[in-house]
Structure 1
Amino acid sequence: MSPISLIILIVLALLITSWVRSLPKKKRKSALIKIALVLLLIITATMALTGKLHWIAALFTAALPFARHIFPLLLRVIPFLSVWQKRRTQQTNSGNQSSENSKIIHLKIDHDAGVMYGTVLQGPFKNRELGTLDKDQFLSLLKYCRQQDQDSAKLLETYLDKRFGPVWRSDDLSSEKPSASAKEIQEAYEILGLQPNCSRDEIINAHRKLMQKNHPDRGGSDYIAAKINQAKDTLLND
């Protein structure tokens, strides 16, 4: 092999490796299989054009006696491999996904893909998937949640922030809320682990410590992070 050919192969290998690593984990396996098939076709075509394809036929013929003994063994092993793969997939999926529930909203979070899926449990859009709602419907649902259940409203706000960013808030006409109730203030103290009449600095420090442990970028829950932020805002604005 000439030095130029070797350099080309190395560059291609680096490019392919970089491309595969940039893919989501779930797509890497299928990408590697496709690459292997393409390489196999290229090698086979090259050997056919250079007249060396007979080597493959010779190797295939030599392997036949071994295949007759190995094939029955593989048939016995395959069911066990299938069971193992199924359990492994279930463990992986359960470890990379989490869910949050409220009275009105059910939210599922795929941490690997960085996406959220949700379902409306009750109200005007009962049994609808959040992904099928448009902006006006979202705002209507958010208004309903704020009237019926604050936890559901916070959960839906978390979903909207993740899906649309802060842009949707400019169209939110129901964001004006009354002062926090005594129950909401007490809940805020409990979330931050503080006592009533604590100082502003204590609130900020408690919020910062909790966010360091529960920030979504560090594997924490978006919903819990939203609750921590809401608790800080409630106490600082009280």
Structure 2
Amino acid sequence: MLCDSENDANSSLFESIAQDLRENGYSINPGALPVSLSNLLRESIGRLPDRFFSSAGVGRGQAHLHDEQVRSDDICWISDDSPAGKQWLQWASELQLYLNRRLFLGLFSFESHFARYRPGDFYQRHLDSFKGDANRVLSMVVYLNKDWSPEDGGQLVLYKDEHDDNGTCVVPEMGTVVVFLSDEFPHEVLPADRERYSIAGWYRVNTSTESRIDPPH
């Protein structure tokens, strides 16, 4: 459970994210995840056996494939069957409700996974969604790395569009929360010199029809 001060901090953070999304389409918030939740998630991913992780793929549905030339991290999907997973998904749900009220986004569901990058692992520049092609609306990344410095590498580079060659670098420090429009911001993960932990998540709209039910993933 979060204490009153952390609940107040959440309200401030959620409003900051909403304003940033409205004005810029992305929001970068260093060390903003509640400390108790950050620590719980970091402990949880650190205890996960290797067998719980699988090689990450790219694409969705029949187009899903594994390509280590594109990305080389391992992932573990998060469910609510552990205290850490339950608290994380509750926090993400509260953010979803807040953004729907403030920005009228119609966010319908949320999915997320732990990501583990070994030294040298990377994820090449990509978009999380393509306009008119998928139902991912917002992407969120949270970092779970203690005592991380820029010299350790592993930065997220967020590009404003396909013509941007410089980008904005985000150091994957503990508790940093990044949210951005899924179909507008190409991004990549640079190789790191240390093992690097994060959560990647996506808020979706509902694209179900009479003949097809849209699953979370």
Indicate whether the TM-score tops 0.5. no
When normalised by structure 1's length, the TM-score is 0.22
Larger fraction in strand: 2
Larger Rg: 1
When normalised by structure 2's length, the TM-score is 0.24
Larger fraction in helix: 1
Q: Compare relative contact order (CA 8 Å, sep 6+) and give the higher one, 1 or 2.
A: 2
